[in-house]
Amino acid sequence: MKNLLIIIYLILFIHGCDEQTEKTESGNSLQLSKAMSDDVDGNFDKAIEKRKFIFPEDHGPHPGFRTEWWYFTGNLTSEDNKQFGYQFTIFRTALNKDSNERKSEWSSNQIYMAHFAVTDISGNEFYYDERFSRNGNELAGAQIDPFKVWLEDWQINQISENAVFELPKLNIKAGSDKAEIDFDLEAIKPYILQGDSGLSQKGKGEGNASYYYSYTKLKTSGKIKIGEEEYTVNGFSWMDREWSTSALSDDQKGWDWFALQLDDSTEIMYYQMRKNDGSADEYSKGTIINSKGNPETVKKEDVICEVTDHWESPDGVKYPSGWNIKIPSKNIDLKITPAVKDQRMNVSVKYWEGAVKIEGKKNGSVVKGRGYVELTGY
Amino acid sequence: MNSLTRSSLRYLFRHPWQFGLSVLGIAMGVAIVVSIDIANYSSATAFNLSMNAVAGKSTHQITGTSEGIPDSLYTKLRIEKGIRNMAPVIESYVSIPDSGKVVFKLLGVDIFAEKPFRDYLSQTGISLEGGLKDFLTRPNSVLLSKESIEKLKKQTGDTLSVLINGKMKTLYLAGLIDETSDNKSALENLFITDIASAQELTEKGNKIDYIDLILNNESEEQTLKNFLPEGFLLQKSGSKSETAEQMMDAFNINLTSLSLLALIVGLFLIYNTMTFSVVQRKVLIGTLRSIGVTSNEITRMIILEALIMGIIGTIAGFVFAYFISKILIVFLSQTINDLYFVVSVREIYISPAIILKGIGLGVFATLISAVYPAREASKVHPRSAMIRSEQESSVLRKVPRMTIIGIAIMLFGAVILYLPSKNIWLSYLGILPVIIGFALTTPLIIIIVEKIFSPVYKKLFGITGKMASRSILQNISRTYIAIAALALAVAATVGVGIMISSFRSTVINWLEARLNADIFVSAPSLISRRNDAVLPEELLNKIKEIDEVEDYNYYRELMLQQEGKEYHLIASGLSKRSYSGFEFKEGEPDEVWKKFEAGDVILSEPFAFRNDLSVGSVLKLKTDNGMRDFNVAGIYYDYASDQGLVTIKYDQFRKHWNAKGYSGIAVFVKDGIPVSSVKDKIQALETNGQQLLVRTYKYILESSIEVFDRTFLIAKALQLLSVIVAFIGILSSLMSLQLERRRELGILRANGLLPSQLFKIVNLQTFLMGLTAGILALPLGCILATILVYIINKRSFGWTMQFEIMPSILIEAMILSIVAALLAGIYPGYKMSKTSPANALREE
């Protein structure tokens, strides 16, 4: 469940809209959700029925679906105890399903976009960048064997023959003028299928859903470079894989999404779909993964999510900036605080996505943790 | 306003013809110079704008081998070298058969790489109405400006048939690019297409034309240079515009100087007018002086008058220039398209420099040419002003001195022209003293002509004839300037005429020798003197198989961009029989051909001239394997390109360059077989959609001459304009002359001279003036022609021409001179003959 908005933006970008694209997120999301739910060509595959996930094939691209992404976030600590967060995502969008045979190597019906961000928590700084490319002329693409997803030199590469929990060791690499990352990732918990056995319904109506699986804990080590300074870091990442053709319904405005890694080796994923009136949609839901890697679905009614603070962007968009999440049935009560207030991705479509700190109680004991939160549609 | 100014204004007001013609003369002089400047500047601006539209914000470009840049190099640079600010470009020209001869530029880009380069392509700049999806996924989709689509009478979603590299293709008009005032001209006649479509449309295979880059510093530049494989070049972005400017340089300078010639005629005219106005008012000035007006005040008065005329004339000149430049631009862009590159000039651009130059010429030149007359006026002695013959006798006294000074000045000009230099401006600077010196000898020639014609006139026309001829001499201070102005204008006609005809016959002789085949096959090209389209290699094999074909030549043209220069390379597969078509300026033919076959190059005369090369020199050329040295074996006469050509044997060419295909094939038909039957057979060959131009010797010869003639259309137009200026000049001086002689003629009338006799006198007089001007113009014209052929053209283009004086040009010039003078005399003559003697005799 990641950055749907951006994908929608891409679709608008491609399908066209003669109105000037509005600058505010809400302006976008309304128009774009329409574009998104509207399968113009009508021949893309849709996420309607449950399916069997097969690996390593499903790590690779699903060109029959309009959109897809490979999403990584993580919280890391350097040897001298500096804290960092990162986000790195490569998106794929198909312009149409059929790729007619053309002579030019450049011809392409797939567009790739990537977002990259580093949060220097100790330094209270946030760095981000964005890229676009076609998949023609090998500038961007995704393949299964060896597993590789790339947009120019921003790349996800398989670095081991053998797979653990169906996932080979990965190297991810990205950078901007100001910050660079180069990490090796290794799954230490099995993948989980989100939603109903991997079919994640996002809105009402058949097909407004995605196929969705996550690796909620990947051991991560490598280097972060900020300016001329290089840090050797260790920590944990979260990987999401999702593909779909349409997802949002007309009355949905955006979402708040939480990926929380607790230090007792529990992970919690929860997303709250917001309706136009700001209330939470019934399709909001989440998953709790215990230390053994077994998932358990939580429904909207199981979760109490309260906003405790706000942050306003320089251009006047007000975002929640602190939460209390309670899951009484599981005896969980967590206080979530952004690691840095301003972790807004000021890119083609603006959204807030950032590292968070977690403190609270689980079953009466104190727990801590780190995680990532994504806020769209504000 | 003081009484002196009033008197001055009243004078101007009372002589509206004289005033009007002077202003018109100034206006025409200014108009010609300014309109040429505008035409030059507009075409340069249009070209630069279209270049900028394409170059965008790039600082550098990577250009490839003769085949272009492989796609993989681009990806390698982006992924392995991590270069961010780079964008692939394919550039081509397309013509639209349904819309006359309209030519569009096709720009193939990768929209995802464009953002730093061409801002009109950023997402907000593109109206998405037509669908960006189509743009990317539908083959042959293009974006264009609203103005362009309206011009084509199409709508988004329509298709359009175009000719690209000689093949018909169908474009899909996917959408519009938003126009702003900034990019409007840049988007003119531009199709933007996806790089994939561009590759398919131009059939480039897996190659692109060049890569745009934004590099921030030298070290980035150096790193990239070191990384690039042999045959690839990193160069600054402006170099294309610079190359174009260099190409146009000599051409522009020559146009400008022709316009200056018109201005010199104009200056004579102004000088003439001001002198007249002083001479005419000598009595008035004398009176003013005697009532206490100082000589300084008189000077100021005359200068002020000149200023007024200069200002009005300049303003009018700009108005004329606007209209004249519109016509010139049509000629000029045709010539540029014929010779140099594709450009579409649809708007008039004026720079502050042009305006300043126009004002400078119109106002300040007028003032300067008024200085001498003003000084003369200030010197008028209150008493001597009453003596009418004073001025004339003083000029006559001065004749020997003027002649000697004139000859000295001419010699000085000759010395300047003789200086060994390539500087064109210096050459033109040398022409000026020749002209001025010649003008100073005018009085002597007038005296001689008068001495010869006075008895003849007397014999033929009696007393009226004698009176007519004598009065030229009596009024020599005024007549000589008018005659000199006319002579100069006619001489310019003669000079340019002889130069063009010499050039033309040189070119025809050369064409006849060089074009020794029967049939010429090429692909349709957008620039007449350059074949940018390429014929497939199989075509030659198919032509060889035709039984009636005896022999053939083939060649491949390639434009090499290197070190800010553009070299035109011809790889020639010459049959031995065609060797005789080359005449060498340097090098022994047998030896040259032997070396040529071994891999040496031969250079055309302009190329050797431009680049200071001679036999034995070494020429560095950018091959697909990097820079290579080539020995120069010979230098041949050639008039195909003023930029010059480098010719290499085709087999040798293929060792260094990968470019495939032929630019042209020439076919020799077996004896006794009709050329047309072979032409039809070639035309009928299967070419996989490639359109062929199959033309006979006769057609090529004629169309080459046609292009040549088009090139000189502007020169001819300018010639005509300077004759008009001269005509105005002579009209103006005759008007003044006749008006000034009111009293004299009034007395004659009072003594019984009939109006018809008076009219006759005037006409006889103008005939003689025209004849004198013609007699002066012929030698001066020949001198100018000599300078143009042997110095100016040689220094501008490096061409050797046969000098040829066509008698018809001289006869025409003489007729022109006399007719212009006669025409100019009709109205003043008529007017004088109608004036009643009483009015004419009345003092003002």
What is the nearest CA distance from B104 to chain A, expressed in angstroms?
A: 22
pLDDT of residue B194: 93
- pLDDT category of residue A31 using cuts at 50, 70 and 90: very low
pLDDT of residue B122: 52
3-state secondary structure A92-147: EEECCCCCCCCCCCCCCCEEEEEEEEEEECCCCEEEEEEEEEECHHHCEEEECCCC
The C-alpha atoms of residue B201 and residue B187 are separated, in whole angstroms, by: 20
The C-alpha atoms of residue B405 and residue A315 are separated, in whole angstroms, by: 81
* CB contact (8 A) between residue B195 and residue A18: no
Count CB-CB contacts under 10 A for residue A48: 12
Interior angle at CA B449, CA B436 and CA B724, nearest 5? 50
Is the pLDDT assigned to residue A116 strictly greater than 90? yes
ipTM reported for the complex, 2 dp: 0.88
pLDDT digits (tens, 9 = 90+) for B384-416: 555 555 556 667 788 899 899 999 999 999 999
Separation in Å, CA B695 to CA A182, B518, B665, B704, B708: 65, 9, 11, 12, 18
The whole model's pTM is what? 0.79
Nearest to B196 among A20, A21, A104 (CB): A104
* 3-state helix, strand and coil shares in percent for chain A, rounded to the nearest 5: 10, 55, 35
Cβ-Cβ pairs closer than 8 A, A with B, add up to 88
Q: What is the mean pLDDT of chain A?
A: 86
Length of chain B: 844
The C-alpha atoms of residue B667 and residue B552 are separated, in whole angstroms, by: 4
Packing angle between helix B424-440 and helix B442-474, nearest 10 degrees?
A: 40
Contact B28, B725 (CB under 8 A): yes
Which chain A residue's Cα is nearest to B109? Answer: A106
Contact B458, B465 (CB under 8 A): yes
* A178 DSSP assignment: S
CA-based torsion, B28, B34, B37, B41: positive or negative: negative
pLDDT average, residue stretch B424-451: 86
Which chain B residue's Cα is nearest to A11? Answer: B133
Q: Please state whether B840 falls in left (phi above 0), alpha (psi between -120 and 50) or beta.
A: alpha
Coil, strand or helix at B455: helix
Count CB-CB contacts under 10 A for residue B758: 23
DSSP B62-121: EE-BTTBEEHHHHHHHHHTS---SEEEEEEEEEE-GGGTT-EEEEEEE-TTT-TTT-GGG
What is the nearest CA distance from A154 to chain B, expressed in angstroms?
A: 8
Cβ-based neighbours of B212, under 8 Å, separated by 6 or more: B55, B56, B58, B60, B61, B86, B87, B88, B89, B117, B237
The C-alpha atoms of residue B490 and residue B405 are separated, in whole angstroms, by: 23
Coil, strand or helix at A224: strand
Nearest to A13 among B79, B123, B206 (CB): B123
Q: Which segment of A150-154, B133-137, B609-613 scores lowest on mean pLDDT? A: B133-137
Is the pLDDT assigned to residue A171 strictly greater than 50? yes
pLDDT of residue A43: 78
The C-alpha atoms of residue B194 and residue B189 are separated, in whole angstroms, by: 17
Cβ-based neighbours of B420, under 8 Å, separated by 6 or more: none
Cβ-based neighbours of B833, under 8 Å, separated by 6 or more: B755, B756, B758, B759, B762
Cβ-based neighbours of B169, under 8 Å, separated by 6 or more: B94, B140, B161, B162, B163, B201
Tokens of B410: 């001419």
Nearest to B75 among A109, A111, A137 (CB): A137
Tokens of B69: 């840049």
Contact A196, A53 (CB under 8 A): no
Contact B722, B490 (CB under 8 A): no
User: Taking the C-alpha atoms of B761, B762, B765 and B770 in order, what is their torsion angle to the nearest 10 degrees?
Assistant: -150
Tokens of A264: 């007792």
pLDDT of residue B291: 83
Q: What is the mean pLDDT of chain B?
A: 84
Which chain B residue's Cα is nearest to A99? Answer: B137
Q: Where are chain B's structural domains?
A: 1-54+245-387, 57-236, 388-512+704-737+754-844, 524-691
* CB contact (8 A) between residue B199 and residue A16: no
Strands (E), B146-294: 159-164, 167-177, 190-194, 207-208, 210-213, 233-236
The C-alpha atoms of residue B544 and residue B548 are separated, in whole angstroms, by: 9
CA-based torsion, B599, B642, B709, B711: positive or negative: positive
User: For chain A, first and last CA: distance in Å?
Assistant: 17
Maximum mean pLDDT: which of A222-231, B98-107, B233-242, B692-701: A222-231
Q: Which segment of A1-10, A88-97, A156-165, B262-271 scores lowest on mean pLDDT? A: A1-10
Share of chain B above pLDDT 90, in %: 28
Contact A253, A378 (CB under 8 A): no
Return the closest-CA partner of residue B235 out of B225, B244, B248: B225
A200: β partners: A210
Separation in Å, CA B407 to CA B279, B428, B434, B440: 27, 18, 9, 8
Contact B417, B787 (CB under 8 A): yes
Coil, strand or helix at B316: helix
φ/ψ of residue B66, rounded to 5:
-60, -20
pLDDT digits (tens, 9 = 90+) for B778-835: 999 999 899 888 888 888 888 888 899 989 999 999 998 999 888 888 887 887 777 7
Domains along chain A? 4-375 (2.40.370.10)
pLDDT digits (tens, 9 = 90+) for A193-233: 998 999 988 877 787 889 999 999 999 999 999 999 999 99
* A237 DSSP assignment: E
Contact A249, A273 (CB under 8 A): no
B80 contacts in chain A (CB < 8 Å):
153
The more confidently predicted of residues B130 and A217 is A217
Is the pLDDT assigned to residue A40 strictly greater than 60? no
Is the pLDDT assigned to residue A17 strictly greater than 50? no
* CB contact (8 A) between residue B200 and residue A103: yes
* B382 DSSP assignment: T
B631: β partners: B618
What is the nearest CA distance from B570 to chain A, expressed in angstroms?
A: 30
* CB contact (8 A) between residue A96 and residue B131: no
Q: Please state whether B694 falls in left (phi above 0), alpha (psi between -120 and 50) or beta.
A: beta
The C-alpha atoms of residue B758 and residue B768 are separated, in whole angstroms, by: 15
pLDDT of residue A11: 47
Which chain A residue's Cα is nearest to B139? Answer: A102
pLDDT of residue A239: 97
Which chain A residue's Cα is nearest to B77? Answer: A152
* CB contact (8 A) between residue A106 and residue B71: yes
pLDDT digits (tens, 9 = 90+) for B193-210: 999 999 999 988 899 999
Which chain B residue's Cα is nearest to A100? Answer: B137
Tokens of B715: 């020169």
A109 contacts in chain B (CB < 8 Å):
136-137
Is the pLDDT assigned to residue A62 strictly greater than 60? yes
pLDDT of residue A99: 63
* CB contact (8 A) between residue A137 and residue B71: yes
Nearest to B75 among A20, A21, A138 (CB): A138
